[in-house]
Structure 1
Amino acid sequence: MKSPSFYILLGVGFAAAAFVDDVSSLQRRDADILIEPEAIPALPSPDQATAAAASAGLNLTNVQGDVLIGMRKNKEQFIFFSISKPQVFKKQFKSNILPLITTTTQIINPPKRPKAAVNIAFSARGLAQLGITDDLGDGAFATGMRTQAELVPSPLGDPVPVTAPGRWKPEFSGSTIDGVILVASNSEDNMKPATAAITKLFANCAEQVYSLSGAARPGDQEGHEHFGYADGISNPAVQGFDTASKGKPPFPGQAVIPPGQILLNNTGDAIARPDWTKDGSFLAFRQLKQLVPEFNKFVNDNPLPVKGLTKKQQSDLFGARMVGRWKSGAPVFLSPRVDNVTLGKDPMLNNDFNYTVNGVDDPTDQSRCPFSAHIRKTRPRADQTGGDAATTAVHHIVRAGIPYGPEVTAAEAKANKSTKDRGLAFVSYQSNLLAGFQFIQRAWANNFNFVHPATGFDPIIGANMTQPRPVNGLDPTNPNRTVTITTDFVVSEGGEYFFSPSIAALASSRFSA
Structure 2
Amino acid sequence: MGILQHLKDRFRPDRVTLQLDDIQALILRARPEPYVGIHAMLHVDDAAGGRDLLRRLAPHIPAAADWTEELTAWTGVAISHAGLKALGVPEGSLASFPLSFRQGMAARAEQLRDAGENAPEQWEEAYRDNRCHIALTIFASDQARLDEATDRAMSEYHASSGVTLIGTHRFGADADAKNPFGFRDSVSQPTVAGAGVDPQPGQERAIAPGEFILGEDSETGAPLEIPQPDALGRNGSYVVLRKYDSRPGAFNDFVRGQANDEAAQELLAAKMFGRWRSGAPLILSPTRDDEELGADPARRNDFDFSGDKAGIVCPHGAHMRRLNPRGERLTILTDENIHRIIRRSSTFGPKWSADLTAADDGEDDRGIFFIFISARAFDTIEFLQQEWINRGNFIDLGKERDPVVGLHEEPGRFTVPAEPVRRRIDGVTTYNRLRGGEYMFMPSLTALRWIAAGSWN
Equivalent residue number for residue 195 of structure 2: 241
Task: Select the residue among 250, 256, 259 that pairs with 1:300.
Answer: 256
1:181 to 2:124 alignment: no
User: C-alpha displacement at 1:327, in angstroms?
Assistant: 1.1
How far has the Cα of 1:184 moved from its partner? 2.0
For 2:146 and 2:77, how far apart are their aligned partners in 1? Answer: 15
Check the 8 A contact 2:112/2:381 in 1, yes or no: no
Q: Deviations over 1:158-182 (max 9, x none)?
A: 4278354xx3112212321111111
Residue in structure 1 matched with residue 389 of structure 2 by the alignment: 445
Task: Measure, in 1, the Cα distance between the counterparts of 2:326 and 2:171.
Answer: 31
- Map of 1:25 onto structure 2: none
| Change over 3 Å in CA distance of 1:376–1:161 after alignment to 2 | closer
Classify 1:475/1:67 alpha carbon distance in 2 versus 1 (closer, same or farther; 3 Å): same
Distance 2:206 2:427 in 1: 34
Q: Secondary structure at the match of 1:381?
A: coil
Alignment-derived partner of residue 13 in structure 2: 50
Shift of 1:489: 1.0
Distance 2:299 2:149 in 1: 39
TM-score by length of 2: 0.88
Aligned counterpart, 2:312: 367
Structure with the larger strand share = 2
Alignment of 1:337-356 (within 5 A): 337-356=287-306
Amino acid at match of 2:78: A
| Conserved 8 A contact 1:449-1:455 | yes
The answer on 1:290 being equivalent to 2:246 is yes
Give the distance between the partners of 1:386 and 1:351, measured in 2 at CA: 24
Contact 2:331 2:396 in 1 (8 A): no
C-alpha distance in structure 1 between counterparts of 2:285 and 2:234, whole Å: 42
Partner of 1:84: 45
Whether 2:272 is the aligned partner of 1:322: answer yes
Aligned residues: 442
User: Which whole-Å CA distance do the structure 2 matches of 1:411 and 1:300 have between them?
Assistant: 11
TM-score if structure 1 supplies the norm length? Answer: 0.79
Tell me if 1:511 matches 2:452: yes
Asked whether the 8 Å contact 2:43–2:132 carries over to 1, the reply is: yes
Moved more, 267-276 or 77-86: 267-276
Q: Pick from 466, 470, 475 the counterpart of residue 413 of structure 2.
A: 470
Q: Compared with structure 1, are the counterparts of its residues 484 and 386 closer, same or farther at alpha carbon in structure 2 (3 Å cutoff)?
A: closer
Alignment of 1:61-72 (within 5 A): 61-72=21-32
Matches of 2:26 and 2:39, distance apart in 1: 12
Q: RMSD between aligned alpha carbons? A: 2.9
**Maintained 8 Å contact 1:48/1:242:** yes
What residue ranges of structure 1 are gaps of 5+ in the alignment? 1-34, 305-310
**Does residue 223 of structure 2 align to residue 279 of structure 1?**
no
Tell whether the 8 Å contact from 1:77 to 1:184 is kept in structure 2 after alignment. Answer: yes
- How far is the alpha carbon of 1:138 from its aligned partner? 2.4
Q: Secondary structure at the match of 1:42?
A: helix
Given that 1:121 and 1:181 are in contact with CA atoms closer than 8 Å, whether structure 2 keeps it comes out as yes
Q: Residues 489-510 of structure 1: CA distance to partner in whole angstroms, max 9, x if unpaired?
A: 11111111110100111122x3
Instruction: Assess, with a 3 A threshold, how the Cα gap between structure 1 residues 385 and 291 changes in structure 2: closer, same or farther.
Output: closer
- Equivalences for 1:102-501 in 2 at 5 Å? 102-105=62-65, 108-110=68-70, 113=71, 116-132=73-89, 133=91, 134=93, 135-149=95-109, 151=110, 154-159=111-116, 162-164=119-121, 167-203=122-158, 204-216=161-173, 218=174, 222-244=176-198, 249-253=199-203, 256-268=206-218, 270-273=223-226, 274=228, 275-276=230-231, 277-303=233-259, 311-357=261-307, 362=309, 365-384=310-329, 391-408=335-352, 412=356, 417-454=361-398, 456-464=400-408, 466-472=409-415, 474=416, 476=418, 480-501=422-443
Return closer, same or farther for 1:324/1:250 CA change in 2, 3 Å cut-off: closer
1:381 alignment partner AA: R
- Go from structure 1 to structure 2 and tell me whether the alpha carbon gap of 1:176 and 1:232 turns closer, same or farther (over 3 Å shift): same
Contact 1:321 1:370 in 2 (8 A): yes
Which whole-Å CA distance do the structure 2 matches of 1:481 and 1:402 have between them?
Answer: 33
Identity %: 23
Deviations 1:97-147 (A, max 9, x none): 11111111256411xx3x531221100001111222323442321111111
Give the Cα separation in 1 of the matches to 2:165 and 2:179. Answer: 28
Q: Give 5+ residue unaligned stretches, structure 2.
A: none
Per the TM alignment, residue 418 of structure 1 is displaced from its structure 2 partner at its CA by 4.4
1:254 Cα offset (Å): 6.3
- Distance in 2 between residues matched to 1:91 and 1:482, nearest whole Å: 57
